[in-house]
Structure 1
Amino acid sequence: MSCPAKQSSVPPVDFEGDPMTIVYTLGFTAIVIAISLGYRKLWTAYWDHRIGPLGMRRIGKQGDRNLSREFAKEYQKSDEKTVGKDEWRVEALFDYPIKSTYPIEVQESVVQAHGFEHDRQFCFAQWYEPTPKGGEEVNKSPKEEPEKGTTAWWNLRPHWTCLTQRKVPRLTLVKTEIWVPDPHSRDYDEEDEYVKSGGCLVVKFPFTPSLNPLNIWSVFVARLVTWNWKSELTVTFRVPLNPTSSQVREKGYASDKFNIFMDYPSGLNMSSEIPGQTWKQLRYALGLSNRLALFRLDLTKNRNLYKCAPNEEQLDYQARLSYQDSYPLSIQNMSSIMATEEECLKKKLEIKFTPDSRRYRGNIYISGPKPFDEDDWTQIQIGDHKYHVSCRTTRCQLPTNDPDTGILTMKQNEPQNWLKKNRRIDAGSDAGCLGMQMVPTKEAIGSVIRVGDVVKVLRRGEHLYVTKPDPEFQRPVL
């Protein structure tokens, strides 16, 4: 048996004679590392973009909007044959978790005394400082001190005031997600802080800094994740959905008052949940310089509603609301919206008017009634439950804001101009009206409204709008 041939050793590679080999090797290594890190960053961004908090499920309708067919000609006019019949139905439902931000469309929603379960539970506010007018001293006492708690009294003092698209149109670019605990998820953990608080509110807004070598890769990844090469970076933060009393104490959420028009409700200041850098980015994205805060509805301090709502004796409970402008629920008739927008489309406008029912920020959108049939409703039934229709929805310039771009077309001011000219139908207000405001009956509290529910009118009557929120101005039901 012969021995195997002796293997000669491989001579060492002499790099000194081939410097390009070193360059190629280092370059190839750098590319491999960059691809690995890039893949990890891209996948992490994609995962967070698509999946969200662990152990949770997302609330809301995904994919096409229920009202996507509103642009079809056959949908823009009510079928007269359906008026007064059971073909009146709920077409779409919307929550607005943070007041005046982009909506979440849902297939169903639980009705609470203060509105839909997740509707306007949060509100951004900015710090207001009184400023001198016409050379006057800012702290100069007025001849007569305004009554404490009135708007005039508050205007003389620093305070928080809510943000809305009326003055900050880019709020529509702030998007939210509601995530609630999912016991069936393999990642579900009863001790998780978000599980204890009943869920998590995810808030996202666009932010693009000045490009530099340090952030150009992040901008590229953001655009790759969304498959939109015009996309901005997305900044994300999360807050507990409904913190428990122990969480409120542990995290030091202070209860404070802030202004919503003529009202000054209390709220839990949850600003400490948001990093300082994120606040700076949000102010930049919204075009603001004042200090901002995020308030959550304080469920221990009801925001009572009077105005045109039924009184406590009639309802068998005290009407209340979250951070809505005036009432807990709003309803929109699609044929009324289409009739309004058809008139706007007839005008020769510098900026083309884009019909979009989301401009009107209703909770409930229905089909079936003829245009403006809703003007004299006083009680309706949705599904199996009844609702008081308290007053008409008076319109400001907010519907002139494009819900997708945040461009407020004040110059042409449509549909505001058309509404003020043709829909000033309420003796209690000089504003144009479109839509109705509602209060749930006691029996409706805890029920669920679903897309497809039948809508019936039970009573009709007169309306007279009331502006002031104080109980002494409450109007008896007409």
Structure 2
Amino acid sequence: MYSTQWAQYFFTIPTITFILTVIAICTPALVALFLYELEEAHLRAAKPASCRKLGLSTESNLQNEFYPKFSEGQPPNSKEASPAAWRVKSIWIYPVKSCRGVELEEGTVIATGMEYDRQFSFAQLKDGPAATAQEPGKEGRTQKWEFITQRQYRLLATVKTEMWVPDKSVERYTHHAEEVESGGVVVLSFSYQEPGWRGILAKLRAALRSTVPEKRFRVPFNPSPAQIEKAGYTFEQMTIWKDTASALNLSVEVPPELSTYLGMSNRLGLFRVDNSQLREVYRNAPRKEELGYQPVTGFQDAYPLHLLNLSSVHALSALISSSPSPQSQSTIPPPLPLSATRFRANIILTGPPAFAEDTFRLIHIGSTALAVCCRTARCKMPNVHPITGERHASEPDRTLRRERAVDRGAGKGVGCLGVQMVAMLDGRGLVRVGDGVVVKKWGKSEYIPQ
């Protein structure tokens, strides 16, 4: 009965009304489909030719890092657990210093640390007539480039990094592609919405992916001499801590909007390490006579490799939660539980008891031998949230200084977490998630300041 009445009503609807109704119903879906295809085309166009993107295709290996089981370390001579219970949990590279990292399933260890790690660094122009962003074309002989990190500009933590490397298996691969000749491409992106209708369109496209509008730019990973000349890149001196290193200035590729996003007043630059003039590592590192080569590093703070024990991060979280906050900060909750990503290590282990890594001297990860140089002396950078870029007023720095000032060489009140390492090789090694970790030599060390 009702179906008959509905059919009679349907055929009495004017044609124009029916057409307008169908259009009204279908238009939002068609617009959404159009925007989705537009975003897909945009992403395809931005994909570097003849390259594949490094990184996990699945969820992070740290997705369960807060499980209580990772608080329970086991000694290597335990009857319940063999040394094989000590394993690599997660591997990271940070192509651009202080920016978002790339998590890997396996990584290559070379003389400078993990391949692709800390090869670039942002810097600001200090001194000289061209120091401010408002005077970009008045460089003088007195200009001085100085590296920057999240210590000064916390929003660097939110600058996303993609590492694209040449891959012959990629469709339409050609060894003549610029991206191949430069050894790959680094793509960086940060939150940005253009003014006007373009920005509105970008916002709608991003909403379909539950993201926000971004501005993307790319730089060649290791440009050839011909590419350097064509692009107008120049080798200049850049200061990193107490070192002054030669580095390739690729600042012409950096969009001016990034300075505004970071809140900078000085001119912003982007530099790549000069492989012909790498910084040599001494202090606690083994010498050339022992390794066969003098350890070197890129734009890491001091040593090529950084290792972290997940149970130590759990122990630090417990110390923070059991300690009352200062009265002046009592309304600010501590950033618990702490993620291991706050400490920006290359290799994150599970298995050893908390802080057992303090006495590692020589370890094997798979077949790769690594010399442990010293503890990692911590600054306030781990106070910055690795995803949002928000900086906590005191933690974990306050607890590290109180509970982990365990190294006389690091100085009074300097907290330590994790260890610094160099590779016992003059070539290449491989580390994989799940590799067993075996300590070949134990001992004590004392940090030597820069």
Find the counterpart in structure 1 of residue 242 from structure 2.
262
User: Could you state the TM-score of these two structures normalised by the residue count of structure 1?
Assistant: 0.79
1:296 aligns to 2:272 (yes or no): yes
Question: After superposition, where does 1:356-367 map in structure 2 within 5 Å?
Answer: 356-367=339-350
Find the counterpart in structure 2 of residue 104 from structure 1.
102
Question: After superposition, where does 1:18-97 map in structure 2 within 5 Å?
Answer: 42-49=36-43, 52-80=47-75, 81=78, 85-97=83-95
Output the amino acid matched with 1:168.
Answer: Y
Selected match of 2:447 from 450, 456, 465:
465
Runs of at least 4 residues off by over 3 Å: 34-42, 47-51, 79-84, 211-214, 346-349
Selected match of 1:216 from 200, 208, 211:
200
Shift of 1:273: 3.0
Output the amino acid matched with 1:221.
Answer: R
Find the counterpart in structure 2 of residue 174 from structure 1.
159
Equivalent-residue separation in structure 2 for 1:167 and 1:130 (angstroms): 20
Output the amino acid matched with 1:446.
Answer: R
Cα deviation, 1:388-424, whole Å, max 9, x if unaligned, reads: 1111100000111111110011x2x111111111111
Judging changes above 3 Å, is the alpha-carbon distance between structure 1 residues 160 and 84 closer, same or farther for their aligned structure 2 residues? farther
Paired residues, number: 406
Equivalent-residue separation in structure 1 for 2:38 and 2:193 (angstroms): 20
Shift of 1:117: 0.6
Find the counterpart in structure 2 of residue 315 from structure 1.
291
Find the counterpart in structure 1 of residue 309 from structure 2.
333
The answer on whether the counterparts of 2:367 and 2:430 sit within 8 Å (CA) in structure 1 is no
The answer on whether the counterparts of 2:166 and 2:180 sit within 8 Å (CA) in structure 1 is yes
Output the amino acid matched with 2:55.
Answer: G
C-alpha RMSD of the superposition: 2.6
Equivalent-residue separation in structure 2 for 1:439 and 1:84 (angstroms): 26
Equivalent-residue separation in structure 2 for 1:372 and 1:273 (angstroms): 42
Judging changes above 3 Å, is the alpha-carbon distance between structure 1 residues 193 and 212 closer, same or farther for their aligned structure 2 residues? closer
Question: After superposition, where does 1:68-467 map in structure 2 within 5 Å?
Answer: 68-80=63-75, 81=78, 85-129=83-127, 158-208=143-193, 212-213=196-197, 215-224=199-208, 226-228=209-211, 231=212, 233-274=213-254, 278=255, 280-347=256-323, 350-354=332-336, 355-409=338-392, 411=393, 413-430=394-411, 431-442=414-425, 445-467=427-449
User: Could you state the TM-score of these two structures normalised by the residue count of structure 2?
Assistant: 0.84
The alignment partner of 1:217 has SS state of helix
Judging changes above 3 Å, is the alpha-carbon distance between structure 1 residues 86 and 36 closer, same or farther for their aligned structure 2 residues? closer
Equivalent-residue separation in structure 2 for 1:322 and 1:37 (angstroms): 48
User: Quick check: which has more Rg, 1 or 2?
Assistant: 1
The alignment partner of 1:109 has SS state of strand
Shift of 1:52: 2.4
Shift of 1:77: 2.3
Shift of 1:216: 2.0
Output the amino acid matched with 1:414.
Answer: E
**Which deviates more, 184-193 or 172-181?**
184-193
Shift of 1:44: 3.4
Equivalent-residue separation in structure 2 for 1:422 and 1:35 (angstroms): 57
Cα deviation, 1:37-56, whole Å, max 9, x if unaligned, reads: 87555423234447822322
Identity within the alignment, %: 34
Equivalent-residue separation in structure 1 for 2:128 and 2:103 (angstroms): 38
Question: Gaps spanning 5+ residues in structure 2: where?
Answer: 1-15, 130-140
The answer on whether the counterparts of 2:83 and 2:437 sit within 8 Å (CA) in structure 1 is no
Equivalent-residue separation in structure 2 for 1:345 and 1:56 (angstroms): 45
Judging changes above 3 Å, is the alpha-carbon distance between structure 1 residues 214 and 45 closer, same or farther for their aligned structure 2 residues? closer
The alignment partner of 2:317 has SS state of helix
